[in-house]
C-alpha cells in the first residue's frame, strides 16, 4: 500500500505543474473529505471543493482542490507586482 501511495502522490504532484493549468472541465461542490492535491489537507464538508478534469496525457485524470487552492493554481504564473 505504501509504495502505491507514493507513486500516486508523485503523479499527483506532477499533475499540478503549470503545464496542466488549463483544465478540460471543472466542477465545484461541497467538500467530500478528499485530500487537496495542492495543499494536501482534507477538503471538509463546509468548504468548496473543485474537481478539475485534466487533459489527456496528464498523470492523473482528475484533481481535487480547495476553492482557494484552485485559484492559486490557475493564477500561479509569475506575475510580480
- Report d(CA 69, CA 37) in Å as an integer: 9
Binder to Zn ion among 20, 36, 49, 52 (CB under 5 A)?
36
Distances (CA, A) of 41 to 24, 48, 56: 24, 13, 26
DSSP conformational letter for 51: E
Q: Find the binding residues for Zn ion in span 50-69 (CB under 5 A).
A: 66, 69
Task: Output 54 or 69, the one with its CB closest to Zn ion.
Answer: 69
Segment holding 6, helix H or strand E: helix 2-15
Question: Could you say whether residue 15 binds Zn ion (CB under 5 A)?
Answer: no
Question: Could you say whether residue 35 binds Zn ion (CB under 5 A)?
Answer: no
Question: Could you say whether residue 28 binds Zn ion (CB under 5 A)?
Answer: no
Footprint of Zn ion (CB under 5 A): 36, 38-39, 66, 69
Amino acid at each position: 500500500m505504501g509504495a502505491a501511495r507514493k507513486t500516486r502522490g508523485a503523479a499527483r504532484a506532477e499533475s499540478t505543474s503549470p503545464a496542466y493549468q488549463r483544465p478540460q472541465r471543472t466542477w465545484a461542490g461541497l467538500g467530500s473529505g478528499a485530500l487537496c492535491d495542492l495543499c494536501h489537507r482534507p477538503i471538509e464538508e463546509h468548504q468548496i471543493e473543485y474537481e478539475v478534469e485534466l487533459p489527456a496525457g496528464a498523470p492523473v485524470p482528475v484533481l481535487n482542490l480547495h476553492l482557494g487552492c484552485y485559484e492559486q493554481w490557475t493564477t500561479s504564473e509569475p506575475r510580480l507586482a
